[in-house]
Copies of this chain bind each other. A is one copy, B any other.
Amino acid sequence: MNTNPTIDGQRLLQRIAEFAAIGATPAGGVNRQALSLEDRMARRRLAELAVARGFCVYQDAIANLFIRRDGRAPSLSPVLIGSHLDSQPTGGRFDGALGTLSAFEVLESLEDAGAVTERPVEVACWTNEEGSRFFPGCMGSMAFVGAGDISGWQETDGADGTKLADELQATLTALPEVEMRPVGHSVAAFIELHIEQGPVLERANVPIGIVTAVQGTKWLQVSLTGEAAHAGTTPPAYRRDPLAAAVEAIASLQQAVMPADPSARLTVGRMIVEPGSINVVPERVTLTLDLRHPEKEVLAAIEARAGTECRAAARRHRVEVSIEKRFDMAPGKFDASVVEAIANACGRLDIPTMKMVSGAFHDALFLSRVAPAAMIFVPCRDGISHNEAEFVSPQNIEIGARVLYETVRELAG
């Protein structure tokens, strides 16, 4: 690697350890759910660090937190970098925190180097990305891009019985000295560093994934209802077996969808068979389909195919079928110029990369609707995330932050 100014890897690793202590779980993970006391403590610590370095700190009505280092032309829209600080209830120490703290490290490193950028550089810490305490996730980034309705969320009940409005207010007043900003502002580019949350980079032994798109996701719930019957005394002609229909439909979909298209994802994660007795033909099967694809039209075709297969199998087995769409997130394409800037940065640093599609949603998906955006992935051990065992090697943390720094230098001018 070259010897140009870069980030301070030791400082970043210490910061990650320091923040992992806020909401630390006995098993080495983090419980720092959105707008909780722990979340507020983490935000406060980050704001303190920012003020200590002379950066400006802002928050908005949905409690997104921004840390700004001005550029030569303060009127230009900023290059925005960052992620989130909230976690799953038994989350890992890297999901979100890695991107937020690496972004802050970039700001500090620019300051250390006395770098003067053309554009301001801002760290964004988005509120409630995880969505496990308050539904939906990505609230902060959705609100920022105008895709979500803050006032409509006010009455949202938390999984722990709290109200979003109360916890949001408490979070905002926990930083009374921080200046309020309107929700949403012009952005020159957004870059989010994140752990991959999958096994691809690790197995390919590549330290950096340049994310060009986020898969669209559709969740379907399929209910098949037949008639419970004695397994011994009921001949095939008199059966209305919803499980027989379900396995045919899924097996057929499996053959049709994934082998034909390497970008397609089809998962049956849940299947409930009732009454569930060894010698009774089931009365009802309820199953879920998680369908993903980076192309909106292809995803729609997979959804249509799923409906066709389920209805055809239901007809063959004389069972009722109903299909309910539970979730529908359109795919997102990242910006070619930001993707190229990341690739150029990696080229300059001589770091191997792989272009990839994100299988999970991220705040960057929403940001991409209003600004040129892209993501940088680093490998996580065994692809494990949303789990206290989540782990990223110090080496890959440092590589990720260097790539972010180098990309920001290019984009901020």
Chain A interface residues toward B at CB < 8 A: 196-200, 203, 215, 217, 219, 229-236, 238, 241, 243-244, 246-248, 250-252, 254, 258-259, 262, 265, 267-273, 276-282, 288, 290, 292, 326, 358-361, 383, 385-386
Give the distance in Å from the alpha carbon of A273 to the alpha carbon of B285 in the complex. Answer: 12
Question: Judging by beta carbons under 8 Å apart, are A269 and B247 in contact?
Answer: no
Question: Judging by beta carbons under 8 Å apart, are B238 and A199 in contact?
Answer: yes
Contacts A230-B198, A278-B269 hold; do A203 and B290 have CB atoms under 8 A apart? no
Give the distance in Å from the alpha carbon of A385 to the alpha carbon of B271 in the complex. Answer: 27
Q: Please name 6 pairs of A and B residues whose Cβ atoms are closer than 8 Å in the assembled complex, sorted by A.
A: A219-B278, A219-B279, A230-B385, A232-B265, A236-B265, A278-B288
Contacts A248-B251, A278-B219, A288-B278 hold; do A200 and B269 have CB atoms under 8 A apart? no
What 4 A-B pairs have minimum CB-CB distances, sorted nearest first? A198-B233, A232-B359, A233-B359, A231-B267
Question: Judging by beta carbons under 8 Å apart, are B254 and A248 in contact?
Answer: yes
Contacts A247-B250, A269-B281 hold; do A197 and B233 have CB atoms under 8 A apart? yes
Count of identical protomers in the assembly: 2
- List, in ascending order, chain B residues with CB within 8 A of A198's CB: 230, 232-235, 238
Give the distance in Å from the alpha carbon of A246 to the alpha carbon of B246 in the complex. Answer: 11
- Max chain B C-beta neighbours (<10 A), residue from A232, A241, A243, A265: A232
A277 closest partner in B (C-beta)? B269
